[in-house]
Amino acid sequence: MNRVKSVNVAAYLLSLADKDGIGLSPLKLIKLVYMCEGWSLALRGKPLIRESIEAWQYGPVIAELYSKIRHFRASPVSLSGDEDDILSTDQQELVNSVYRAYNHLSGMQLSDLTHQAGTPWSQIWDKHNRKQIIPRDMITDHFTALAAA
């Protein structure tokens, strides 16, 4: 399966939220995309998104996605994906599962989950050396441990 752009995962998550009649803030959307990547690595053994994930002050961030949605601030995001880069059925099923598992949490609650001791973000974050890439193997190990718990 090919990796997709994070904006397409985000657009698919927004379509799920729209069906539920809710909006997603940039913070919540970025954290949900991160969760999708982590669970893809743990359960499917392969990345979902093309971009790397960086450790920022408020947790794991996909810089390319953030740059497209940051202007929404705390408001619900409106975004469309790239029609040449659509999610496969397998990828959609994974995103559906992650959405169902985490959508009840706020953006801050999701951010808090990513800040817990032992998370990939907590191991990489350094306030003096910001925006370091979180290695995918570290994300894989973390979500594999969550799956086993």
DSSP-based three-state secondary structure for 23:
coil
Q: Is 59 left (phi over 0), alpha (psi -120 to 50) or beta?
A: left
Q: Which residues pair with 49 in a beta bridge?
A: 4
The answer to the question of residue 18 being in a domain is: yes
The answer to the question of residue 1 being in a domain is: no
> What 8-state DSSP symbol labels residue 71?
G
* pLDDT per position as a tens digit, 37-55: 999 999 999 999 999 999 9
Pairing verdict, β 132-133 and 59-61: unpaired
Stated as kind and residue range, the H or E segment containing 63 is: helix 63-69
The answer to the question of residue 50 being in a domain is: yes
Question: Above 60 in pLDDT, residue 117?
Answer: yes
- The parent domain of residue 75 ranges over 6-148
Give the integer Cα–Cα distance in Å for 67 and 116.
25
The answer to the question of residue 14 being in a domain is: yes
Count: domains in the chain: 1
Question: Above 70 in pLDDT, residue 82?
Answer: no
Q: pTM value?
A: 0.93
